[in-house]
Chain A
Amino acid sequence: MIVHLITSFVATAAFAILFNAPKKTLFQCGFVGMAGWFVYICLVEYDYDAVLASFIAAFFIAIISQIFAKMYKTPIIIFSISGIIPLVPGGTAYDAMRHFVENDYNMAIQLAAKAFMISGAIAVGLVISEVLNQLILKIKFK
């Protein structure tokens, strides 16, 4: 578990460098990624579906990103994009592609559908938390 936490932190911060995030937010980006991956791994270990786990983790990431975005007065995209990178179904997409090459279409379609579902779940998680945030703001200021 500690290995997961450290590697997800480093990987997310490294990705923030690739995306050229502002230097002072690198640490926070890493933290967002670590928190998201922690939620995801915990859920997966308790036998939740990967799609559901991605959804909840993305939701969680978006909430932290919103808090950070308010704190540091930067666009939310900086934190949320780096944060979701560990969740992106790169491995599943790769597996799907590999099965396609090996003419195992049944397995390949299954995996591709799964990868698509996961990326959809991530996006829905992000959007729902944004909608919630706007709702809360509206209710507050009314």
Chain B
Amino acid sequence: MENKLPQTIEVIDLCLLAGKIMLQCGAETYRVEDTMTRIAASLGIPSSHSYVTPTGIIFSIDGTEPAKLIRIYDRTTDLYKVTVVNGISRKISSGEISANEAFKKLMDIEKANYTFPLYQQILAAAISSGCFLMMFLGQWKDFIPAIITGGLGFICFVYIHNLVKIKFFSEFMASVVIGLSAYILVSLGIGVQLDKIIIGSVMPLVPGLLITNAVRDLMAGHLVAGLSKGAEAFLTACAIGTGIAIVFAFY
């Protein structure tokens, strides 16, 4: 169907699709804008305007064509897709593939699922919890408890996130589970330092990517995008904090 559309609208769709995938996968705002402008420029539209926020993209090109808007609902971190889209945009710029081919490829990427299998992700979260414990000057005795709590927390996060599509709620529940299981392990005498175990196992949930992206966007002049990402990071941090705090409040 794309072939019947006028050339410029096709370019807008292509740019928006590329931008949408990148934004959903956690690319920085300026990278999304840059990629869209570059694709448009290399397909013969030198002046285009884009307005990117974490929840939507507005893209327009000079001339009679109307501007188009795409709403972004959920955002994850999937650096693989960012890399692939980046590669495609490079190929378009160098003229290796045509707009139609690129559009088809992007459609495939949008549908595809490149994430690591779930058990590997849980394993990674658990192991990184243990490693963080050691980096924050914990003891080897607490290594296994941190792995257990970190793994449990991440499983809880993924499971609840599948049930309820509210990110902050699943983060909150995950940190409650982390706090509880860390407390149980310590009171059973398996773990020693409650604080260190919790810090280690909370790390996979901490919004590190969001915070740095927010400050970078702010400094690059994307004030709206920066502030809204900052708000998201703040909410996440609060959710984790309250989750742990509730456990502390009870004992």
Contact = CB atoms under 8 A, between A and B. Distances in A.
A22 B83 contact: yes
Contacts of B241: 93-94, 97, 100
A123 B212 contact: yes
B203 A18 contact: no
A88 interface: yes
A107 B231 CA distance: 23
Q: Which of B135, B206, B244 has the most CB of A within 10 A?
A: B135
B216 A75 contact: no
B79 A88 contact: no
A91 B127 contact: no
Interface string B15-56: 000000000001110010000000000000000000000000
Contact of A10 (B131, B209, B219): B131
B215 interface: yes
Given A20-B79, A22-B79, A91 B31 contact: no
A94 B244 contact: yes
B148 interface: no
Given A8-B135, A75-B27, A84 B128 contact: no
Nearest to B248: A101
B128 A97 contact: no
B3 interface: no
A19 B208 contact: no
Interface residues of A, number: 43
B82 interface: yes
Determine chain A's interface SS by DSSP, over half rule. Answer: helix
A127 interface: yes
B219 A123 contact: yes
Given A18-B204, A75-B86, A91-B199, A11 B28 contact: no
Given A14-B124, A17-B121, A94-B244, A119 B215 contact: yes
B199 A90 contact: yes
Contact of A20 (B115, B195, B206): B115
B125 interface: yes
Contact of B219 (A75, A122, A127): A127
Given A7-B134, A88-B206, A98-B248, A81 B125 contact: no
A15 B124 contact: yes
B131 A8 contact: yes
B78 interface: yes
Given A17-B124, A77-B82, A91 B27 contact: no
Interface of A: 3-4, 7-8, 10-11, 14-22, 37, 73-75, 77-78, 81, 84-86, 88, 90-91, 93-95, 97-98, 100-102, 119-120, 122-124, 126-127
